[in-house]
A and B are shown apart, each in its own frame.
Chain A
């Protein structure tokens, strides 16, 4: 019996339907990510002019800003999939949330690390207890908590649902962290740096940053799809179709 066309999207909520689709899509997104990264880095490192105030060191923003954006966005997407999982009781959405978490944590770390490398020559310190920095660090801890909790629970059903609750509670806390730390900072007169305030950023700079952000998106999608494929295989290992997939893979090898 054929499923009517308008339900085709929901068809892929079933892990065994999504698995081949993810396998087809992931290489494309990885290719897109690679091409965009090359373009973005070329624009950023060779075409964009030297910053009048900061010199060459500003070029770290082409990695730093997309990574920071992505790290926050990925947490919200994670919370979104968790909510979908709780409401519709779909297994795939919990797997998506768990597949996203390591990439979010990675981008969080990259944003912190590139920020530290930039901060040393610019501020004279690798780390400052500034609002932005502190909220980013807390976000990293939230990612670690989510990953640790979902890995510590052996029963996948419980892991899915406990992870969903944690990511939803954490998502409520993200704006609270952001604003409270901001508040705290104004009291302490710390160094406050906002990249958006940069006076009339050159267009090439903006473009290369946007291209890098798109590359980060494509990379996240590709890696998440790959990771979700592994999760599906692991969770569905008792089913026949996984056996067939693995046999086919074994024959090819």
Chain B
């Protein structure tokens, strides 16, 4: 039964590797959004240092949003999705594999790029560490909840805009805790509470979202 999990994961990672440009576009988008802020709010170093965690989190969130439509769209058009749904394997397993592949190909590059961008905003080293940790704990929720949204809007006209409307309000708490973790660390209260909540949220999403996602996919291909 687990073989379907690894098989789908391997396939999705391979597809992502063959379409490396998609991953690079997401990463470039993340960088550009983050770089727009100094132009917008002015290059005052203290101000940039203050807003850096929020800016990087918002940029990561938007980059994830941009990549979500890829999650099921291709499989939907070429019929793989239907085959997977018809197969006797539990849908939750391969949905989870696809979400994991999405997380590995979008969130992990973002997390890897974040320290470089933190340099541009002159963030403290310890704060950068907390930011990385908060991204690592928070982005799985983005992928999992985003997958539900992507499944719900699969094949709809104007699906991309609709996806943003559905998913962004759900992302707000993650943004608050993610950026809040760095702020709490800088203000001396310690980031543990925020990080634990992010981790707990990830586990809760891991337990619930794949089921909702599988149900939404069934509705979409019916």
Interface positions of A (Cβ within 8 A of B): 138, 141-142, 144-145, 148-149, 152-153, 157-158, 161-162, 165-166, 168-170, 172-173, 176-177, 180-181, 183-184, 187
Contacts and interface: CB of A to CB of B under 8 A. Distances in A.
Given A169-B145, A183-B176, A158 B170 contact: no
B94 to A, nearest CB: 19
A152 B169 contact: no
A61 B2 CA distance: 57
Given A158-B222, A181-B176, A145 B212 contact: no
Contacts, number: 77
Q: What is the predominant secondary structure among interface residues of chain A facing chain B?
A: helix
Contacts of B168: 141
Nearest to A168: B212
A148 B170 contact: no
Contact-residue size bin, chain B (C-beta under 8 Å from the other chain): 20 to 34
A165 B180 CA distance: 29
Contact of A141 (B157, B169, B187): B169
Among B158, B166, B168, B180, find the residue whose CB has the most chain A CB atoms closer than 10 A.
Answer: B166
B170 A173 contact: yes
A152 B162 contact: yes
Interface string B165-193: 11011101100110010011001010000
Given A145-B166, A158-B220, A158-B222, A169 B177 contact: no
A173 B173 CA distance: 9
Contacts of A157: 222
B18 to A, nearest CB: 31
A141 B162 CA distance: 12
B192 to A, nearest CB: 13
Given A145-B165, A158-B219, A176-B173, A184 B180 contact: yes
Interface in B57-80: none
Contacts of B47: none
B216 interface: yes
Contact of B153 (A138, A149, A161, A177): A149
Contacts of B215: 161, 165
B52 interface: no
Given A141-B169, A165-B212, A184 B176 contact: yes
Contact of A177 (B162, B166, B173): B173
Among A142, A148, A157, A181, find the residue whose CB has the most chain B CB atoms closer than 10 A.
Answer: A148
